[in-house]
Amino acid sequence: MNLTISGHHLELTPAIREYVQSKLARIKRHFDNVIDVSVILSVDKLTEKEKRQKAEINVHIKGKDLHAESIAHDLYAAIDALIDKLDRQVIKHKDRLQEHHSMAKRLPDDTPTDAVAGAA
């Protein structure tokens, strides 16, 4: 898995990198065919006192590209919300793949029996 973590208007500390990597382990636990991950962390100044922390992720997995983004006042909270969103997307994609494969296995077994019953 290729992992790219970049920061816009903020300095990436080793603690932030480690935090993102530990959270991404949850994604790899659910779906191991992850090819490429790109994480962009940014800070936007809205007013002089208020800052908005934004986290974005693009994940290229086998068969699909997933994108999620989250905005919060705290960078760690934005990362947590981002991983939660991405985790739901990965689980949904995995369920769709499993349903598709189970349907493909059931169809050939049912079809010949119906054809034989209809011919008799």
**62 or 43, higher pLDDT:** 43
Looking up residue 87, the CATH number of its domain turns out to be 3.30.160.100
CA 86/CA 26 separation, integer angstroms: 10
Predicted confidence (pLDDT) per residue in 96-106, tens digit: 888 876 766 66
Residue-level pLDDT at 36: 93
Beta strands in the chain (DSSP E): 2-8, 34-45, 51-61, 64-72
Among the ranges given (11-15, 25-29, 93-97, 102-106), the one the predictor scored with the smallest mean pLDDT: 102-106
Domains in the chain: how many in total? 1
Range in 6-15, 42-51, 111-120 the model is least confident about: 111-120
Domain with 94, as residue range(s), is 2-119
Buried/exposed 9-25: b ≥16 CB within 10 Å, e otherwise: eeeeeeebeeebeebbe
Query: Tell me: the pLDDT tens digits for 56-82?
Result: 999 998 888 999 999 999 999 999 999
And the tokens for 103? Answer: 């349907």
Span 88-109, average pLDDT? 78
- How confident is the model at residue 43, as a pLDDT? 93
